[in-house]
Amino acid sequence: MAGGYLFLLLVIILNVSSSFQTSNTVNPCCYFPCQHKGICVRYDPDDYECDCTRTGYYGKNCTIPELWTRIREFVRPSPSFTYYMLTHYKWVWDIINNSFIRDTIVRLVLTVRATLIPSPPTYNSAYSYLSWEAYSNVSYFTRVLPSVPDNCPTPMGTKGKLQLPDATLLVETFLKREKFIPDPQNTNLMFAFFAQHFTHQFFKTYGRMGRGFTKGLGHGVDLSHVYGDNLERQYALRLFKDGKLKHQIINGDMYPPTVVEAPIHMVYPENIPKDKRFAMGQEVFGLLPGLMMYATIWLREHNRVCDVLRKEHPVWDDEQLFQTARLILIGETIKIVVEDYVQHLSGYYLKLKFDPELLFSSQFQYRNRIAVEFNQLYHWHPLMPDQFNILGQLYNYSSFIYNTSMLTDYGVEALVESFTNQIAGKIGGGKNLHPRLVEIAVGVIEESRKLRLQSFNQYRKQFGLKAYTSFQDFTGETEMSSQLESLYGDIDALEFYPGMLLEKTHQNAIFGESMIEIGAPFSLKGLMGNPICSPEYWKPSTFGGETGFNIVKTASIEKLVCLNIKKCPFVAFHVPKAEESSISEGTKTTDEL
């Protein structure tokens, strides 16, 4: 009997001991042992295996390169070298841009960038392993890298301190503006508001659903910010005549309807009467006159295109006119983003080209999913200035936001001219975020922690960049690097969003290497992965014939604006140079555009 009690006691002690050891065993995947995109699979509490399939590497941690990998890595230029070559020797690129070599290089840029984005999508914020749910549930943003495993020793795995720095302290210390820093690439507010307007069609965080959810089913350029992200909203905005959208005429010019005429939900303060609230595809566009300006321009463009289509196809009904006009505007948007927006942002002397046929000989998946990481890195609020200069009149934030009368009082032409001539802020390098926008940056960091995003260096390695070895290497200076090291403790613990915003910038550039090398693949895959770029869609009949197809193929930011206003000022995504600012208004004809 006594022996039985002793045996029972021994079993209890062994179980307690085993439980204690298990609870203190670190998940080996917390160390991120698998290199070169290898997948860490956990077996026993302290046992793992790296799946090195198709990585080009083998060995326990996918660190031994195969022969072809050695050769490829030997001949592959570094991202910094490639960027240098693309932004220097303009005379060489002038020759290339006028030769057949241009198409070859653009095709290479598109394919190399796009292959960095997993397609089909892999993870989401609920599943850190491949699953049908992560693939098929489009209510989630997808993810390039899975979450940091649960119950790791530190928030970033095993590196850094036990607790991340206070988010507000980070933003106040490193991101908050002391003095406005103008963008050295001369980016203007036309660009800043275009970026904000354009991205709101696919960056639609839906916090009420939980972590990592997106509102609506669109994951790309669908112009839901113009037409609404559901049929009920779309129908409320449509005129149901000649394919057009509802509108109102003020002083002879077309503007969005009010919420009285199009009863949809819009976010406005209570003090703004309903007959002063514009109804637009995106519910938050009443926030800023710059967003209302672009909403008005696209509304006018849709109705203009409907007139063109109706003339070409008098037998078409309202629905076909509307649907075809939408496809044309989607094409115009992608063309403008590639050849005007991305072209300016890149700083490349290579002239980018929107030509879907360049990819028809390649294996390319025409489907896109918006990633959490893309949503995070695109918070470019340092673009915003201290004040807004409208024809010499300065407006602070209090008098600028929700100023619905500014659009109609000044008119689209005046806002275009003013925003074109006002320089935007530099995004990278830190200390350029307006104090009114501090809370937004704090929210981005706090969201990334809830989503357990992996460290900045892990993302650099995922996109083929070398991990930084020190904070000084990361910032290129001593003061900020010392402060960051005292807060994080280890460069491998630096978070994704602070890393993207604080990284040392390229010389005379708006931001640093990581924003280009990580952001560009998301952008180009999302644009060229649009269905209209596929062989099945990219043909004249999709756009109502050659006339509609030509509207897409000749689109530009200048044409978009100038075909929808009475006088044509200088229009670009950069502040005009001396020779450009001398161009007089109203000198360009429709034929010249």
The catalytic residues are 200, 378
Helices (H), 97-249: 101-114, 132-136, 167-170, 189-199, 224-227, 231-237
* Cβ within 8 Å of residue 445, ≥6 positions away: 167, 170, 171, 495, 497, 498
Structure tokens at 242: 């000649």
What does the block give as tokens for 301? 């463009």
C-beta separation of 49 from 43 below 8 A: yes
Q: Please name which of 77, 82, 87 lies closest in space to residue 345, comparing C-alpha atoms.
A: 87
Query: DSSP for 502-546?
Result: HSPBPTT-SSBHHHHHHHHHHHHHHHHTSGGGSTTT-SGGGGTSH
Q: Hey, what are 67's tokens?
A: 């022969």
Helix (H) or strand (E) holding 51: strand 48-51
Q: What share of the chain is helix, strand, coil (3-state, %, to 5)?
A: 50, 10, 45
CA torsion through residues 199, 200, 205, 209, sign = negative
CA 139 to mean position of chain CA atoms: 18
Judge whether 182 and 515 are in contact, CB under 8 Å. no
What are the φ and ψ backbone dihedral angles of 481, each rounded to 5 degrees?
-60, -40
Place of tokens 């609404």: 228
Do residues 548 and 532 make contact, with C-beta atoms less than 8 angstroms apart?
Answer: no
Q: Which residue has the tokens 């095709």?
A: 107
Residue 394 three-state SS:
strand
The label of the residue with tokens 């690439």 reads 185
Q: What dihedral do alpha carbons 60, 126, 369, 373 form, nearest 10°?
A: -70
Of 213, 211, 194, 193, whose CA–CA distance to 203 is shortest?
213
Query: Tokens at residue 418, please?
Result: 């003013």
State the Cα–Cα distance between residues 258 and 266, nearest whole angstrom: 10
Is 400 within 8 Å of 419 (Cβ atoms)?
Answer: no
Separation CA 251–CA 48 (nearest Å): 70
Q: Measure the CA–CA gap between 266 and 282, rounded to whole angstroms.
A: 8
